[in-house]
Amino acid sequence: MKFTKMQGCGNDYVYVNCIEKELENSNEIAKVVSNRHFGVGGDGMIMICSSDKADFRMKMLNADGSEGAMCGNGIRCVAKYVYDYKLTNKENLSIETPSGIKYLDLTTENNKVVEVTVNMGSPILEAKLIPVISDNDKVIAEPIDIDGVEYKITCVSMGNPHAIVFVEDTKNFQVEKIGPSFENNKIFPDRVNTEFIQVIDRNTISMRVWERGSGETLACGTGACASVVACVLNGKTEDEVTVKLLGGDLKIKYDREQNLVFMTGPAVIVFEGEIEL
């Protein structure tokens, strides 16, 4: 199988062109190729497919083979893939995902994409739709017991579920130890992605993430969007925020008038290859 390894802020996936032919058994293939010792290595696999509703369609699978309905870093890389490999010459693209059609603006230099802005759509706050089990309609700064310690979570879906936790210091936070207990807590019927956020100032936050199905990653685009929405809801930041991740920075804008979230960030090709399956 031919592939291109790409990354956005260090959130790396194996990209496969499925425009002519979809992959059979893609959940199993995602597990194999994502393995960092026996496969290509990545946080998961992303398939670029044709669409009858938009310019292209994206399907994303986590490293454990489970599907995510949206991937913020992935969708920017899909835009770079289709433009740089000349599958389109459009600099304004629409990409269908299981969480709806997203609209993207490409910034190019020397006929290559260097940065992409994505209209990520409206955040979903209704507990039932995220889904998170709660007595309240929305989960904002609600206490949760994780391994005997009380944390406060704010829950937001950007097409996929996120729980946001404010911490004193992201650098020394034990994400690997605590992340799985959030992911698999019984109040999240579909599991959850968890963002640990340190507020630096009213326009800057530091974030680490434990991703459902992939573990700690260097960045999560939907997670950065959900976190800025959570910051605004908790009165911690303005609505334009630089999110500092282990793998780089994302610029997020929560346009409250339109109730839309915009994400701007890089997309990079790392290498191309072929793997025997």
Ligand X SMILES: N[C@@H](CCC[C@H](N)C(=O)O)C(=O)O
CA dist 197 to 223, 227, 243, Å? 10, 8, 9
Taking the least distance from each CB to ligand X, the nearer of 39 and 213 is 213
Instruction: Determine if 157 is a binding residue for ligand X (CB under 6 A).
Output: no
Active-site choice (9, 49, 155, 220): 220
Instruction: Determine if 11 is a binding residue for ligand X (CB under 6 A).
Output: yes
Instruction: Determine if 248 is a binding residue for ligand X (CB under 6 A).
Output: no
CB atoms within 10 A of CB 27: 14
DSSP string across 83-148 = HHTTS---SEEEEEETTEEEEEEEEEETTEEEEEEEE----B-BGGGTT---SSSB-SSEEEEETT
Burial class (CB in 10 A: 0-12, 13-18, 19+), 172: exposed
Instruction: Determine if 265 is a binding residue for ligand X (CB under 6 A).
Output: no
CB atoms within 10 A of CB 36: 11
Fill in the per-residue mask, 202 to 241: x = in contact with ligand X (CB under 6 A), - = not in contact: ---------xxxx--x--xxxx------------------
Choices 64-72, 143-151, 197-205, 250-258 (CB under 6 A): range interacting with ligand X: 64-72
User: Is 49 marked active-site?
Assistant: no
Instruction: Determine if 65 is a binding residue for ligand X (CB under 6 A).
Output: no
Number of residues that bind ligand X (CB under 6 A): 18
Instruction: Determine if 68 is a binding residue for ligand X (CB under 6 A).
Output: yes
Instruction: Determine if 5 is a binding residue for ligand X (CB under 6 A).
Output: no
Active-site choice (71, 77, 155, 225): 71
Q: Rounded to whole angstroms, how far apart are CA atoms 249 and 204?
A: 10
Label residues 87-96 b or e (16+ Cβ within 10 Å = b): eeeeeebbbb
User: Is 220 marked active-site?
Assistant: yes
Handedness of CA 52, 53, 57, 60 (dihedral sign): negative
DSSP 61: E
Residues 92-151 that bind ligand X (CB under 6 A): none
Which chain residues interact with ligand X by CB under 6 A? 11, 62, 68, 71-74, 160, 193, 211-214, 217, 220-223
Annotated binding-site ranges for substrate: 11, 62, 72-73, 160, 193, 211-212, 221-222
Give the active site residues. Answer: 71, 220
